[in-house]
A and B are shown apart, each in its own frame.
Chain A
Amino acid sequence: MAEDVNSLVKNEFFELVPFNVAVIDREYNILTANSNFHDYFGEWRKRKCFQAYKKQEFPCADCKVMDVFNNGVVRVSDESGIDRNGRRCHYVVHLAPVRDESGKVRYIIEMSSDITDTTRYQREYNILFERVPNYVTIIDKDFKIIRANEKFRQTFGDMAGKHCFEVYKKKKKQCKHCPAAMTFKDGKDHMATQTGVSKDGDETHYVINTTPLSRTGDGVSHIIEIATDITEVTKLEEQLKQSHDFQSTLIRNSADAIIGINRDGKTQIFNPAARELFDWHSRKKPGVNTIKDMLPDDFFDKSIKDIEAISYPETIVKTSKGREIPVRFHGYNLNSKKKNIGKVAFIEDLTHIKKLEREKLDAERLGAVGQTVAGLAHTIKNLLMGLEGGMYMVDTGLRNNNVERLLSGWTVLQRNFGKITTLVKDFLSFSKGRLPEMKILNPNTQVESIVEFYKDAAKKQNVELVAETDPKMKEAPLDPKGLEACLTNLISNGIDAAVLRMDDDGKVIVRTIADNNTIIIEVEDNGNGMDDEVREKVFTTFFTTKGGKGTGLGLLTTRKIVQEHGGKIDVETIVGKGSTFRITFPRERLKMILEDTRKT
């Protein structure tokens, strides 16, 4: 029975072993082979081994077969050959001697198995190991480097046999928190970020991965250590952090409120100045709808998405309590790589500036009255002089029975009485109400109608009066009566000056100019102009160069009205050429005064 099994197995064994089996003699002839052999290498009958294995007609240069025939020792050899389909193949072959009774090696059994794939994997692994742009080392339990890849060798030189910590950190001792030590201990992968020193002595940063490579009875014997240099990344991270810190310091300490909103409308930046401006005390930042209530609608308008920025020199924002605050507002879309990533608003609180502007305006308006009172004394002195003279004439006329003198004295008294009446009237109108009665009107309309009204009177004195109005002029809040008084005064002054030419070529032009944010009205005459002395005094007191004709209040009243409008008046004059009086009204101030008059 046992004999049967033995012979059965012996017979079948040849075919069953998972090898390509062939038997050869000393002349390299293949005597027999199994079907695995045939399947792998193809036809073998009447062939020599080199013909079957390598499809060549001569024995291999490094043939091991003869060694085995001579010394009878088993050999194993890596070989490459050609398979039955003509493809290169790799195989391991065992050469086992078969001896006859005399002990002489008669045949050799060759048992080969395919390692083509394994060889490829090996090659691939090698390439990967060598060429990967990381530092790859295999280290043993003593942390000695057994093998290192190309990048490692390029950077550190041949460090085989050195400790990893010597190479990476120039240290004599194993590092704390060493991932390699942990892998040796528990057989698992570990990762750590380490700071080392490059061969130039610079600080370098690595991420280290450790993986067990081979194990022996008492645990892991070798590990692969892969170190990735992240020094550049770390540097960039630091720069990024610095730049972030720098910017957040700027934002935090900005006197202007800064609000940043991301693409989803969520508030991301709300700096302390914004908290103060918007009276926001919650630790959380305002939500989508709260922010929308606070800021100008246009800022959230979808249509401005394509526009880089919106800018308001003056607008209103609302605090969390609903209070309105005048501000200067700049809003910007934030774009990165042509994609919108949100928006930011810079808001400057104008409350304080507004208050200062208001105070300045009030001071100027009060100043106009003060200067007037100072000038009043002088006018009264002049009138008293007239009365004094008149009385003297009447007095002496009566005393000396001189009727002619009495009459001329009486006329002087009458005339001065008339002047007092005019002065009182002028002064009453002058001191009437500090706030102008503002109405929305186009200054052009008023200029044109006043010029029309005085045209004929001017013509009678041979002075041409014309209006040159700027068609771009827009409406503004102005006091029509006040403006009329100013224009009448300036026109009548202009006519008086133009008359003095004596050549009947007198001309007065009333001009309006719509400047950016101001309204300019000019009255230009081609009279004799004024010398410096007169020009200096023209607005300062009850000054008249018209002898007995004027009270000296005309330009003062004009200036007062202009100042009450928050404007200013000045004059350009050239002796012999004429004068131009220029009134300037800033539109902002007109608006402010309109608000004031509406309040009272």
Chain B
Amino acid sequence: MENKLNKTVLVVDDEDDVRNYLVAALEDAGFNVRTAVDGSDALEKVKKSKPDMISLDLVMPKHSGSKFYFELQKDKDLKSIPVLIVTGHARDELGKVDFDTMTMQGPGVYLEKPVNPKKYVATVCKLLNIDVPKGFEVDEEVDPDMLRNKLTSSLRDADPDALKRALEALNKK
């Protein structure tokens, strides 16, 4: 899939699974994606090359997202980068204090985990002021049941060859 949007997003998250998922979704939508595993890693990478947008997790070991965010806001050049906060802590005690003090500064919005891929891509596009790519339009609020249904329906419609290969690969494990 070609990166036709010509926009670069830095995905910062300490969990591999989450990071891989967000990267996949963004790449599918046509973004260039770079990754960082915590705040200090992210700061280094941002300084090396400025992304168009940052997708940021808040709670990470060693160097947290909120710390990174404040460092970003202190830098005249970097503070203009829009930040999308992807957190599970937006509403609970652990994240609330950080969150309340952060939201007022600089451009940015937050998404609460779990994030739906369409909603995620749509929010990124909105922050970058670009149109949402085809296939990522948000129809309505998605719930896990719906996702599960979708998954089973795609399994039903899937290419038999692909399914066969997938099963073979799984059996090998």
Answer whether residue B78 sits at the interface, using C-beta atoms and an 8 A cutoff.
no
- Which residues of A have CB within 8 Å of B104? none
Residue of A392, A398, A407, A416 touching B169 (CB-CB under 8 A)? A407
- What is the 8 Å Cβ interface bit string for chain B, positions 56-80, against chain A (1 contact, 0 not)? 0001111010110000000000000
Minimum CB–CB distance from B139 to chain A (whole Å) comes to: 15
B155, A386: Cβ atoms closer than 8 Å: no
Number of A residues whose C-beta is below 8 Å from B?
43
Residues of B within 8 A of A410 (CB): 166, 170
Which of B16, B17, B116 counts the most A-chain CB atoms under 10 A from its CB?
B17
What CA separation (Å) do A393 and B28 show in the bound complex?
11
Which residues 381-418 of A sit at the B interface, judged by CB distance below 8 A? 381-382, 384-399, 401, 403, 405-408, 410, 412, 415-416
The answer to whether A537 has its CB under 8 Å from any CB of chain B is yes
Q: Is the CB of B92 within 8 A of A385?
A: no
Interface string of B140-173 (1 = CB under 8 A from A): 0000100110110011001101110110011000
Residue from B66, B113, B155, B159 within 8 A of A384 (CB atoms): B113
Q: Is B18 at the interface (CB under 8 A from chain A)?
A: yes
Q: How many residues of B contact A (CB 8 A)?
A: 45
**Contacting residues of chain B (14-47) with chain A, CB-CB under 8 angstroms:** 14-18, 20-22, 24-25, 28
Residue of A398, A408, A528, A533 near B162 (CB, 8 A) is: A398
**Given A394-B151, A403-B166, also A387-B114 (CB < 8 A):** yes
| A289 adjacent to chain B (CB < 8 Å) | no
Tell me how far the C-beta of A2 lies from the nearest C-beta in chain B, rounded to whole angstroms.
Answer: 148
A406 contacts B162, C-beta separation under 8 Å:
yes
B115 within 8 A of A: yes
Q: A385-B114, A387-B144, A546-B61 are in contact. Are A403 and B165 (CB under 8 A)?
A: yes
Tell me the dominant secondary structure on chain A's binding face.
helix
Q: Is the CB of B165 within 8 A of A378?
A: no
Q: Which of A381, A387, A392 neighbours the largest number of chain B CB atoms within 10 Å of its CB?
A: A392
Q: Which A residues are CB-close (under 8 A) to B17?
A: 386, 389-390, 412, 415-416, 548
B117 within 8 A of A: yes
B57: min CB distance to chain A, Å: 10
Whether B89 and A533, one on each chain, are in contact in the complex, defined by CB atoms closer than 8 angstroms, is no
Cβ-defined contact, B60 with A398, below 8 A: no
Report whether A390 and B24 are in contact in the complex, using a CB–CB cutoff of 8 Å: no
B21 lies within 8 A of A412 (CB): yes
Candidates A392, A398, A534, A541; contact of B163 at CB < 8 Å: A398
Complex alpha-carbon distance, A395 and B64, angstroms? 32
Across the interface, do A378 and B61 meet the contact criterion of CB distance under 8 Å? no
The residue that B150 contacts in the complex, of A377, A386, A395, A397, with Cβ under 8 A, is: A395
B100 part of interface (Cβ distance < 8 Å): no
CB closest residue in chain B, given A402: B162
The answer to whether B20 touches A393, judged by C-beta atoms less than 8 angstroms apart, is yes
Q: Which residues of A contact B108 (CB under 8 A)?
A: none
At the interface, yes or no: B133 with Cβ under 8 Å from chain A?
A: no
Residue of B92, B113, B147, B161 touching A541 (CB-CB under 8 A): B92
CB of B93 closer than 8 Å to a CB of A: yes
Assembled-state Cα–Cα distance A122/B94 (Å)? 110
Known pairs A390-B21, A412-B20; A381 contacts B114 (CB<8 A): yes
Contact of B116 with A378 in the complex, beta carbons under 8 Å = no
With contacts A388-B21, A388-B114 known, is A398 near B88, CB below 8 A? no
Bound complex: CA A536 to CA B161 (Å): 53
A388-B88 contact given A401-B162, A415-B17, CB 8 Å threshold: no
Question: Which residues of A are found within 8 Å of B66, using beta-carbon distances?
Answer: 533
Indicate if the CB atoms of B88 and A382 lie closer than 8 Å.
yes
Chain B nearest CB from A550 CB (Å) reads: 10
Interface residues of chain B, those whose CB is within 8 Å of chain A, are 14-18, 20-22, 24-25, 28, 59-62, 64, 66-67, 88-89, 92-94, 112-117, 144, 147-148, 150-151, 154-155, 158-159, 161-163, 165-166, 169-170
Chosen A-B contacts, 26 in total, with CB atoms closer than 8 Å, are: A378-B89, A381-B88, A384-B113, A384-B114, A384-B144, A385-B115, A388-B21, A389-B17, A389-B21, A390-B21, A397-B166, A398-B154, A398-B163, A399-B158, A403-B169, A407-B166, A528-B62, A533-B67, A534-B64, A540-B93, A543-B59, A543-B94, A545-B62, A547-B14, A547-B15, A547-B61
User: Can you name 14 extra interface pairs (CB under 8 A) apart from A381-B112, A393-B21, A545-B60?
Assistant: A374-B92, A374-B93, A387-B144, A393-B20, A394-B151, A395-B151, A397-B166, A406-B162, A412-B17, A545-B59, A545-B62, A547-B14, A547-B15, A548-B16
**Which residues of A approach B to under 8 Å, CB–CB?**
374-375, 377-378, 381-382, 384-399, 401, 403, 405-408, 410, 412, 415-416, 528, 533-534, 537, 540-541, 543, 545-548
Nearest 8 A/B pairs, CB to CB: A389-B21, A545-B61, A384-B114, A385-B114, A385-B113, A381-B88, A388-B114, A398-B158
